[in-house]
A = this chain, B = another copy of it.
């Protein structure tokens, strides 16, 4: 094989690109060459966008969504129904629900699901923040009426749903889950808006 046929700076970029999810070595090569041929302003715009995003964002202290201030724009929006809380696994699930334009409540991002197999318990997720949020709302005389647990229809999502139902059942008037219009094994963040909308409209009490 001999030496690499490419300058080390190109090799380093190919290596960095191949660490991205779903990007194999050949795709990384193709992307690197695209970035080599594209106008330099476009290539640097991508590099700058990565740096700027990391330098200017952080998790919202209240809900855990991506924010560019201490609290995200949803938590700051007084027009949002503070009595309705939707619990999601990831911020991308929140994005998918927001795309329907139909939900006017607030969110809580767990940053994952319970997974005894992978050693992920309540302590590794934003569970304590959720319970404190619910308790604080009750203490303030503005209790949360309903918590919609919008975990993915997967074994881990269901374990998380059942755990939250048990933990929240006494402190919240209604704990609901997304209707299973979603096919089992699907990923919420890839579902189409109509499916998500149906699942929201037909949410049911957890028995």
Contact A49 B16 (CB under 8 A): yes
Tell me the minimal C-beta distance from A79 to chain B in angstroms: 10
Interface size class of A (residues with CB under 8 A): 35 or more
Contact A53 B32 (CB under 8 A): yes
Contact B95 A9 (CB under 8 A): no
Contact B20 A31 (CB under 8 A): yes
Tally of this chain's copies: 2
Contact A57 B45 (CB under 8 A): no
A82 interfacial contact with B, CB 8 Å: no
**How far is A67 from B54 in the complex, measured between Cα atoms in Å?**
31
A29 / chain B contacts, CB cutoff of 8 Å: 92, 95, 189
Contact A90 B33 (CB under 8 A): yes
5 sampled A-B residue pairs with Cβ under 8 A: A13-B52, A22-B27, A29-B92, A35-B50, A46-B47
A185 interfacial contact with B, CB 8 Å: no
A118 interfacial contact with B, CB 8 Å: no
Contact B16 A21 (CB under 8 A): no
Tell me the minimal C-beta distance from A44 to chain B in angstroms: 6
Contact A53 B13 (CB under 8 A): yes
